[in-house]
């Protein structure tokens, strides 16, 4: 009996530490996963979990602007003519969202009035991809607000909606995980241009104020030199080296076909430029002075275009056609 007890005690000394180690390992794995995923459930993600990267900040570590204050153009004294802005003209109201502010917040939750009711919209900007996209946030008949997840896919910001906690890819304009998985956002017509250009087009424009509720030096960029460097901070699925990674392009999707128009090529071409994609005629207007481009669809063609860095567009659309000035 004494021998049996000694044997059992010996087994306990071996077994219990193994169980304890397993419990600690599983618990630590869950803690690591919660940190790495910033608390988001990626179990049903459309994207391979290994391709989603932690950007550094926690969820909402980059705070969205939820109560934006706007000032009239004549009272705007913090913008230089060459400063970049994202411009939105909806229901007769023009607004400028300075990139020097968006660098620190990445999302502005806003509203537009269609004459009947206020409907939510939001403007997003990813400093790593140079991509600005605006969306309707009136989803399934309800106003929705968005935040910054702190996670990245193809170096591009992953947004999340505060109603379902689903993750959304900015450049894909689609939910990649959570209850909204697979759902698409409605993209709004956004202009990426200089402050001088926008205010000349819309003298009565409103401008997002630096009175954001946060203490930030909006005259200083946290991404100094990034737009000129060939270096990327995070891995991307596809890296096309035909152009400088930070070359600006305007990319378009028509009937599931993608095409990129590098500014380096548009600067060597006449403007407006006529082109055909998927059998549809498009007009590409390029302003070399203000480094801005716009794609207009003829007749009833539905067209979605995004201005971004070259590497970002090709990371998401590796089979995209690419316009070259010699094509004409």
Average pLDDT over residues 104-114: 95
Greater model confidence, 52 or 11: 52
- In this predicted model, what pLDDT tens digit does every residue of 59-108 receive, in sequence order? 999 999 999 999 999 999 999 999 999 999 999 999 999 999 999 999 99
Tell me: pLDDT of 260 over 50: yes
Residues 190 and 260 in one domain: no
pLDDT of residue 10: 53
Greater model confidence, 39 or 14: 39
Mean pLDDT rounded to a whole number for the chain: 89
Lowest-pLDDT range of 23-27, 233-237, 310-314 = 23-27
Query: Rounded to 5 degrees, what are φ and ψ at 322?
Result: -130, 125
Tell me: pLDDT of 327 over 80: no
Residues 203 and 124 in one domain: yes
pLDDT over 90 percentage in the chain: 82
Mark which of 184, 208, 232 sits at the end of a domain: 208
Residues 194 and 253 in one domain: no
Whether residue 262 is contained in a domain is answered as: yes
pLDDT of residue 21: 40
Residues 200 and 271 in one domain: no
Q: Report which of 310, 155, 226 is spatially closest to residue 169, judged by C-alpha positions.
A: 155
Residues 187 and 261 in one domain: no
Handedness of CA 93, 108, 82, 170 (dihedral sign): negative
**Domain around 287:** 248-327
Residues 91 and 194 in one domain: yes
- pLDDT-derived band at 114 (thresholds 50, 70, 90) equals confident
pLDDT of residue 302: 62
Q: Is 15 helix (H, G, I), strand (E, B) or coil?
A: helix
In contact, 273 and 284? CB cutoff 8 Å: yes
Whether residue 27 is contained in a domain is answered as: no
pLDDT of residue 7: 55
Residues 252 and 202 in one domain: no
Q: How many CB atoms lie within 10 A of CB 185?
A: 25
Residues 115 and 178 in one domain: yes
Whether residue 93 is contained in a domain is answered as: yes
Q: Is 76 helix (H, G, I), strand (E, B) or coil?
A: coil
Whether residue 23 is contained in a domain is answered as: no
pLDDT of residue 8: 55
Residues 101 and 162 in one domain: yes
Residues 194 and 256 in one domain: no
Whole-angstrom Cα distance, residue 199 to residue 190? 15
For the chain, the domain total comes to 2
Tell me: pLDDT of 23 over 80: no
pTM above 0.85, yes or no: yes
According to DSSP, the residues that pair with 89 across neighbouring strands are: 94
């Amino acid at each position: 009996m004494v021998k049996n007890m000694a044997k059992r005690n010996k087994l306990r000394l071996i077994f219990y530490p193994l169980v304890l180690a397993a419990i600690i390992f599983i618990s630590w794995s869950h803690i690591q996963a919660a940190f790495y995923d910033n608390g988001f459930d990626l179990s049903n993600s459309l994207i391979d979990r290994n391709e989603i990267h932690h950007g550094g900040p926690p969820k909402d570590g980059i705070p969205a602007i939820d109560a934006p204050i706007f000032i009239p153009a004549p009272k705007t004294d913090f913008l230089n003519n060459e400063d970049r802005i994202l411009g939105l003209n909806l229901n007769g109201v023009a607004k400028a969202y300075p990139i020097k502010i968006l660098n620190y917040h990445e999302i502005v939750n806003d509203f537009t009035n269609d004459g009947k009711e206020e409907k939510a919209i939001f403007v997003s900007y990813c400093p790593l991809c140079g991509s600005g996209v605006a969306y309707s946030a009136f989803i399934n008949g309800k106003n929705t607000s968005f935040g910054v997840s702190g996670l990245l896919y193809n170096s591009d910001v992953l947004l999340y909606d505060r109603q379902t906690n689903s993750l959304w890819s900015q450049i894909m304009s689609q939910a990649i995980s959570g209850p909204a998985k697979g759902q698409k956002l409605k993209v709004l017509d956004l202009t990426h241009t200089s402050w001088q250009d926008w205010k000349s087009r819309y003298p009565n424009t409103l401008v997002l104020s630096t009175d954001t509720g946060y203490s930030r030096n909006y005259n200083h960029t946290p991404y100094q030199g990034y737009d000129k460097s060939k270096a990327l901070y995070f891995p991307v699925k596809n890296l096309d080296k035909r152009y400088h990674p930070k070359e600006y392009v305007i990319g378009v999707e028509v009937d599931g076909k993608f095409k990129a128009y590098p500014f380096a090529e548009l600067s060597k071409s006449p403007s407006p430029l006529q082109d055909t994609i998927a059998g549809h005629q498009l007009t590409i207007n390029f302003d070399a002075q203000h480094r801005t481009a716009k794609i207009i669809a003829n007749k009833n063609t539905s067209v979605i275009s995004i201005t971004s860095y070259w590497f970002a567009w090709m990371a998401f659309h590796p089979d995209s056609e690419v316009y070259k000035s010699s094509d004409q």
